[in-house]
């Protein structure tokens, strides 16, 4: 995605705020036009005072009242319009940042398990935060300052030709010259900055990975090695960043030097034209004001382009995630499955993760409502994959899976999963209260229902040890609990949902034998 296409797409993310964005853009156009009025009025005042003095008269306020009034009027307009733009640009940028972040979060949760298996969660989070922050800053700076700068350069700049074509051509030439320098720097550093961003992603992944495995790092005395690895990534990042910073330092210095060169050029050429009788002192003053203002605008645009350029890899990563389509989606008009009875049929089902090696091949079986079956096999034989196919974590490449005689792909995904309770191989708990973890599948559950589910899951004694009962926070991924306690809470969560189809993926592996027997008996009664 080119820089301009990326820029257009970010502006397109304004969504329902586009109308306000258009109003802000129009206000910026008015501000740019008003900015041109100041040097013109200043030049007109100089010419007026000079002409009165040359006529042998003493200047009076009556000679310049209208010009001063116009200057004051434009000044007040600039203040009012500037306040309007600043206030509403801030609000627009903050609203859209949070809305886009929420949309990204929702989309990321719909992506297939295979995507999340292959993509580090630290990277997904980093892309969300940095991408939305970059868009927020772009919207804010564009509507606050840079829209007016673009208008001044590309629309009002030709106006200078009407005022004085010789000085106008000189001004346009100088602006194009310094703009070309910026474009040259962009071409030089585009690929370099993409490499820099890849190191940032590696840094986020490595740090997140280490922080998520602190017990292992401490137990295996890996602190020094992990820090050394992180420092190595940081060093590589800096080595990649330095050339980019060098190029932009050159561009920044050149742009600042352009202010002096431009004003000096306007003064020298203007003085020569004055000697030829082709301009006035007021016009020279006006064009020096134009030059100072336009070079200032050019500096703003260079800073803006520099910002976009530095943020572009982050926003490209953001849109790569947004453009990733979920592998499992509802068919158009897929109906609600309602409450299923629980008859499950696998009809010659095959599935492969990579399209080469089969994870599940030609599997066929049937389970009747109320019946319990076990899928057995060696490690890696496809047991968890088979169960994942049932709740459509992925879809089979061939064959069908039926629920009550209907292909599960023809049901809405939400209604299918509403009928299934899953206890995963690894207990997955949120860093929230026990109550919030239990009510994931049944938000309106009462305390009595939760306690009943906990009792069936042999977790009553677990609750007795919790200082705040159901309101006890279990920590990140339930780390304040033992492995067996986490499994029992996961089972209680599935039982509370009371689904017609219950999937246990090695859900009792962390339980002692006595507890497992009691739990199996309780499950038989469900």
| Claim to verify: residue 384 and residue 290 sit in the same structural domain | no
Task: Name the nearest CA neighbour of 512 among 490, 482, 470.
Answer: 482
- Residue predicted with more confidence, 292 or 53: 292
In a domain, 291, yes or no: yes
Residue that is written with structure tokens 């996961």 in the block: 490
Rounded-to-integer distance, Cα 316 and Cα 319, Å: 5
In a domain, 3, yes or no: no
In a domain, 335, yes or no: no
Q: What is the CATH number of the domain that holds 494?
A: 3.40.50.300
In a domain, 331, yes or no: no
| Claim to verify: residue 402 and residue 425 sit in the same structural domain | no
| Claim to verify: residue 455 and residue 319 sit in the same structural domain | no
| Claim to verify: residue 299 and residue 357 sit in the same structural domain | no
| Claim to verify: residue 280 and residue 425 sit in the same structural domain | no
| Claim to verify: residue 352 and residue 221 sit in the same structural domain | no
Rounded-to-integer distance, Cα 241 and Cα 479, Å: 38
| Claim to verify: residue 378 and residue 488 sit in the same structural domain | no
- How many Cα atoms occupy the beta-carbon half-sphere of 144 within 13 Å? 15
**Last residue within a domain, chosen from 410, 436, 463:** 410
- Let me know: does 175 contact 157? Beta carbons within 8 Å: yes
pLDDT of residue 313: 79
How far is CA 468 from each of CA 290, 481, 491, rounded to the nearest angstrom? 69, 14, 21
| Claim to verify: residue 302 and residue 384 sit in the same structural domain | no
* 512 pLDDT above the threshold of 80: no
Strand partners, 219: none
| Claim to verify: residue 486 and residue 386 sit in the same structural domain | no
Phi, psi of 470 (to 5 degrees): -65, -20
* 421 pLDDT above the threshold of 80: yes
Secondary structure of residue 459 in the 3-state scheme: coil
| Claim to verify: residue 206 and residue 112 sit in the same structural domain | yes
- Let me know: does 283 contact 51? Beta carbons within 8 Å: no
**Last residue within a domain, chosen from 262, 295, 323:** 323
Positive or negative CA dihedral for 58, 60, 63, 67?
positive
Residue that is written with structure tokens 């829209």 in the block: 147
| Claim to verify: residue 392 and residue 495 sit in the same structural domain | no
Give the pLDDT mean for 271-293.
79
Q: What is the CATH number of the domain that holds 123?
A: 1.20.1560.10
Q: How many helices (H) and strands (E) does the chain have?
A: 18, 6
Rounded to a whole number of angstroms, the CA Rg of the chain reads 34
pLDDT of residue 97: 92
| Claim to verify: residue 271 and residue 361 sit in the same structural domain | no
Q: Which two tokens stand for residue 411?
A: 């049901």
**Last residue within a domain, chosen from 410, 433, 459:** 410
Residue that is written with structure tokens 């947004």 in the block: 322
Task: Name the nearest CA neighbour of 409 among 321, 493, 332, 508.
Answer: 332
Give the pLDDT mean for 472-487.
81
Rounded-to-integer distance, Cα 158 and Cα 304, Å: 22
b/e burial code for range 431-457 (CB count within 10 A of at least 16 → b):
eebbebbbbbbbeebeeebbbebbebb
Q: How confident is the model at residue 60 (pLDDT cuts 50, 70, 90)?
A: low
pTM of the predicted protein model? 0.71
Task: Express each pLDDT in 72-97 by its tens digit.
Answer: 888 888 888 888 888 899 899 999 99
> How many domains are there within the chain?
3
In a domain, 73, yes or no: yes
- Angle ∠(415,432,97) on CA atoms, nearest 5: 75
**Which structural domain range is residue 181 located in?**
13-323
């Amino acid at each position: 995605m080119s820089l301009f296409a990326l820029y257009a797409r970010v502006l397109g993310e304004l969504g329902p705020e586009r109308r306000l964005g258009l109003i802000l853009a129009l206000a910026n156009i008015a501000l740019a036009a008003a900015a041109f009025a100041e040097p013109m009025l200043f030049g007109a005042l100089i010419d007026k005072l000079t002409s009165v003095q040359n006529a042998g008269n003493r200047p009076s306020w009556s000679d310049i009242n209208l010009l001063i009034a116009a200057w004051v009027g434009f000044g007040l307009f600039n203040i009012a319009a500037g306040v309007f733009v600043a206030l509403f640009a801030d609000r627009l940028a903050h609203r859209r940042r949070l809305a886009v972040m929420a949309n990204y979060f929702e989309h990321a949760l719909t992506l297939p398990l295979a995507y999340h298996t292959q993509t580090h969660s630290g990277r997904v989070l980093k892309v969300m935060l940095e991408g939305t922050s970059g868009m927020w800053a772009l919207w804010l700076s564009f509507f606050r300052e840079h829209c007016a700068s673009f208008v001044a350069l590309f629309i009002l700049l030709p106006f200078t030709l009407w005022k004085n074509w010789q000085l106008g051509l000189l001004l346009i030439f100088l602006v194009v010259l310094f703009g070309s320098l910026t474009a040259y720097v962009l071409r030089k550093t585009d690929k370099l900055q993409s490499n820099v961003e890849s190191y940032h992603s590696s840094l986020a992944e490595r740090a997140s990975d280490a922080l998520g495995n602190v017990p292992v790092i401490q137990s295996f005395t890996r602190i020094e090695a992990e820090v050394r690895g992180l420092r190595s990534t940081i060093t590589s990042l800096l080595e990649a960043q330095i050339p980019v910073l060098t190029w932009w330092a050159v561009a920044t210095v050149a742009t600042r030097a352009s202010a002096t060169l431009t004003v000096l050029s306007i003064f020298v050429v203007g003085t020569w034209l004055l000697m030829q009788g082709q301009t006035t002192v007021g016009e020279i003053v006006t064009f020096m004001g134009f030059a100072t203002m336009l070079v200032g605008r050019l500096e703003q645009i260079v800073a803006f382009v520099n910002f976009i350029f530095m943020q572009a890899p982050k926003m490209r990563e953001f849109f790569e995630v947004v453009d990733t389509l979920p592998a499992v989606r509802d068919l158009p008009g897929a109906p609600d499955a309602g409450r299923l009875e629980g008859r499950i049929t696998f009809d010659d089902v095959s599935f492969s993760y990579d399209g080469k090696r089969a994870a599940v091949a030609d599997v066929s079986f049937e389970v009747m409502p109320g019946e319990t079956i076990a899928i057995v096999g060696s490690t890696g034989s496809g047991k968890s994959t088979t169960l994942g196919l049932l709740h459509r974590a992925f879809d089979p490449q061939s064959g069908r899976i039926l629920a009550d005689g209907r292909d599960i792909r023809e049901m809405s995904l939400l209604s299918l999963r509403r009928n299934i309770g899953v206890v995963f191989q690894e207990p997955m708990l949120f860093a929230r209260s026990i109550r919030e973890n239990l009510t994931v599948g049944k938000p309106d559950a009462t305390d009595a229902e939760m306690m009943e589910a906990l009792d069936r899951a042999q977790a009553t004694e677990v609750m007795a040890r919790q200082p705040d009962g159901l309101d006890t926070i279990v920590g990140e991924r339930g780390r304040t609990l033992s492995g067996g306690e986490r499994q029992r809470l996961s089972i209680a969560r599935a039982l509370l949902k009371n689904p017609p189809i219950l999937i246990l993926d090695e859900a009792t592996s962390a339980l002692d034998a006595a507890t497992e027997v009691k739990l199996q008996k309780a499950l038989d009664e469900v």
